[in-house]
């Protein structure tokens, strides 16, 4: 496979659907990236601020909630927060911040703002992981413009296929689209839905990776401890599953 030399890889953990494991996956993949020695930025694009809460306990008090200045790349260094983990920085977000799509709607080059902003971080990071809010629209357009990879968690259930095909269509309509991959998330092995999903829909969805993430109490507990399972319990089944997923998506991009 020919590979593109990408200095700073941008991976969006994205789905049109809510509650499918985007934040959990973004956090653990960013953690693994940093553990591999890659200078990593976890970019919290969701004003629910779940990733920010996990890594920083919320927005710092002094953090100015001027989303427009942020989107213009002003005071970049002051926007980036160190975390307690080596090689891992955070672009925080939270409910105090203005709604991203409303801000974007009033700006010029509204669909390219994120890509332009990330260009300014070239050289500072090897990997940027975007924790995305659910849904299509202006924020998603920015994500599709900025990312090299769209990684989509799917719950093994029939409606998930529809969601994945919707994203594929949205990407296909673009002149230059990022690569899309999907994986099954929160798999309960006892229920067999995982195998059933792959048997029924695997052919329609070649983007579906064989790697999957189990439903796991360690992952549930990480929201209490606020320590990603890949850091706290690297040998656990859940952490190993994230590690396999991380390796699978880290093949070079085709030209």
Nearer to ligand ATP, 223 or 225 (CB): 223
Instruction: Please give the Cα distance from 3 to 13 (Å, whole number).
Output: 22
> Which of 154, 162, 199 shows the shortest CA–CA distance to 181?
154
Helix and strand tally (H, E) in the chain? 12, 8
Q: Does 50 sit near ligand ATP (CB under 6 A)?
A: yes
What strands lie across the sheet with 9-13, from one edge to the other?
81-82, 88-91, 40-44, 127-131, 9-13, 149-154, 179-187, 208-214
> Which of 92, 95, 98, 96 shows the shortest CA–CA distance to 79?
92
Q: Does 188 sit near ligand ATP (CB under 6 A)?
A: no
Q: Does 23 sit near Mg ion (CB under 5 A)?
A: yes
Q: Does 194 sit near Mg ion (CB under 5 A)?
A: no
Count Cβ atoms within 10 A of the Cβ of residue 28 and give its class: 0-12 exposed, 13-18 middle, 19 or more buried.
Answer: buried
Q: Tell the smallest beta-carbon distance from residue 220 to ligand ATP (Å).
A: 5
Distances (CA, A) of 133 to 14, 93, 202, 236: 7, 11, 26, 28
Instruction: Please give the Cα distance from 22 to 209 (Å, whole number).
Output: 16
Q: Tell the smallest beta-carbon distance from residue 254 to Mg ion (Å).
A: 29
Residue 54 binding target from ligand ATP, Mg ion, none, CB below 5 to 8 Å by type: none
Q: Does 17 sit near Mg ion (CB under 5 A)?
A: no
Sole window of 70-78, 156-164, 209-217, 242-250 interacting with ligand ATP (rule: CB under 6 A): 209-217
Residue of the chain from 189, 196, 220, 225 that contacts ligand ATP (CB under 6 A):
220
Q: Does 97 sit near ligand ATP (CB under 6 A)?
A: no
Q: Does 22 sit near ligand ATP (CB under 6 A)?
A: yes
Nearer to Mg ion, 52 or 126 (CB): 52
Q: Does 248 sit near ligand ATP (CB under 6 A)?
A: no
Instruction: Please give the Cα distance from 217 to 231 (Å, whole number).
Output: 15
Q: Tell the smallest beta-carbon distance from residue 223 to ligand ATP (Å).
A: 5
Element (H, E) at 89: strand 88-91
Q: Does 113 sit near Mg ion (CB under 5 A)?
A: no
Sole window of 42-50, 112-120, 142-150, 245-253 interacting with ligand ATP (rule: CB under 6 A): 42-50
Q: Does 95 sit near ligand ATP (CB under 6 A)?
A: no
Strands 81-82, 9-13: pairing kind? unpaired
Site string for Mg ion, 30-59 (x = CB under 5 A): --------------------x---------
> Residue 21: CB partners within 8 Å, gap ≥ 6?
153, 155, 185, 186, 213
Q: Which residues bind ligand ATP (CB under 6 A)?
A: 18-24, 46, 48, 50, 134, 185-186, 213, 215-216, 219-220, 223
Q: Residue numbers of the site for Mg ion (CB under 5 A)?
A: 22-23, 50
């Amino acid at each position: 496979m020919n590979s593109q030399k990408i200095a700073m890889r941008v991976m969006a953990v994205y789905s049109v659907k809510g509650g499918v494991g985007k934040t959990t996956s973004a956090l653990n993949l960013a953690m693994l990236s940093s553990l591999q020695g890659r200078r990593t930025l976890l970019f919290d694009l969701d004003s629910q601020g779940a990733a920010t809460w996990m890594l920083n306990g919320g927005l710092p008090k002094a953090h100015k909630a001027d989303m427009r200045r942020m989107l213009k790349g002003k005071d970049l260094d002051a926007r980036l927060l160190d975390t307690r983990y080596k090689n891992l920085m955070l672009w925080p977000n939270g409910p105090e911040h203005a709604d991203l799509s409303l801000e974007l709607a009033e700006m010029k080059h509204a669909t390219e703002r994120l890509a332009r902003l990330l260009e300014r971080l070239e050289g500072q990071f090897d990997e940027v992981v975007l924790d995305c809010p659910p849904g299509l629209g202006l924020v998603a357009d920015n994500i599709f413009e900025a990312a090299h990879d769209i990684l989509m968690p799917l719950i093994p259930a029939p409606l998930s296929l529809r969601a994945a095909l919707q994203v594929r269509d949205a990407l296909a309509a673009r002149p230059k689209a990022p690569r899309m991959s999907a994986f099954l998330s929160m798999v309960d092995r006892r229920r067999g839905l995982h195998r059933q999903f792959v048997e029924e829909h695997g052919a329609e969805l070649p983007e579906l990776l064989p790697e999957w993430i189990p439903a796991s109490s360690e992952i549930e507990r990480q929201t209490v401890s606020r320590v990603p399972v890949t850091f706290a319990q690297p040998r656990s089944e859940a952490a190993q599953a994230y590690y396999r997923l991380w390796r699978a998506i880290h093949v070079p991009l085709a030209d």
